[in-house]
Amino acid sequence: MARRTRRASKDQLAERTQDVSGDKFTIQLHDQTYRERVKAGEAITHWVRDTHFRAEHMNDRDLGQIGTLAGHSIHATVIGTVNSGQPPHNPRIHLHVPGTLEDHAVKMTAADLATTDHRVITSLESRITAIGRDAAGFERQLPQRETELAEAEKNLGQPFKHAHLLTLTREQLATVDQKMAARDDDHAPEEPTEPTLPAAPSASTPPRQHDSMPARQHWRQPTPANDQGYGR
């Protein structure tokens, strides 16, 4: 029942949309009607500069209706600082049609809105045009979504038919993790050891005598005399 109500609401919003393209443009802002987008943009900037916006910390604050465009009422909402991330002195403002998606809103900070021009009006026009287009898209997707919802509701509380595969996969993953951890331990580099210096000799220790021969001797042994002489 709730889904049918929401669908009817979107259909009504789409059917309410009027054509304001080109020379058909008209907008009402604070009891004043404008037929030029430039003048309408200037009217919005004047309203923003004359308004002291106060952003609450947690809650969004609806300022109510500020005008009418293409058959839809335009509301302004000050977004809370927690949801917008903006400081309280420069909050984010949403210009939107009540009952539509957040994507259909024009979102600007108060400072940017105070320096805007006719482009804020054209942005509002494109957002309103998207209401009808999105409503048609939702209408096409609704049967599939209702089937998926019914299937999900039917399977509530039912055991997961692939539970054994999920358990097996988890066990295999745990085994792989263990093997990788063991491999990392085996190939872990050894801790470097600092070289040990020999201890300095103490005063009571006599100097060590080297009894090894020099590597090279610079003298030669005498050649033994020949016992046999040469006769003349």
At 2, the pLDDT band (50, 70, 90 cuts) reads: very low
pLDDT per position as a tens digit, 87-97: 988 999 999 99
Q: What is the mean pLDDT of the chain?
A: 78
In angstroms, rounded to a whole number, what is the distance separating the alpha carbons of residues 57 and 81?
5
pLDDT per position as a tens digit, 56-71: 888 999 999 999 999 9
In angstroms, rounded to a whole number, what is the distance separating the alpha carbons of residues 77 and 105?
10
| pLDDT of 205 higher than 50 | yes
In angstroms, rounded to a whole number, what is the distance separating the alpha carbons of residues 94 and 79?
7
pTM higher than the cut 0.75 = no
User: Is beta strand 106-109 parallel, antiparallel or unpaired with respect to 32-34?
Assistant: unpaired
What do you get for the CA distance between the two ends of the chain, in Å? 150
Please indicate whether residue 111 or residue 183 has the higher confidence score (pLDDT): 111
pLDDT for 34 equals 97
Please indicate whether residue 222 or residue 151 has the higher confidence score (pLDDT): 151
Backbone angles phi, psi at 113, to 5 degrees: -65, -30
Rounded to an integer, the average pLDDT of 29-35 is 95
At 120, the pLDDT band (50, 70, 90 cuts) reads: very high
Rounded to an integer, the average pLDDT of 155-171 is 75
- On whether the CB atoms of residues 63 and 77 are closer than 8 A, the answer is yes
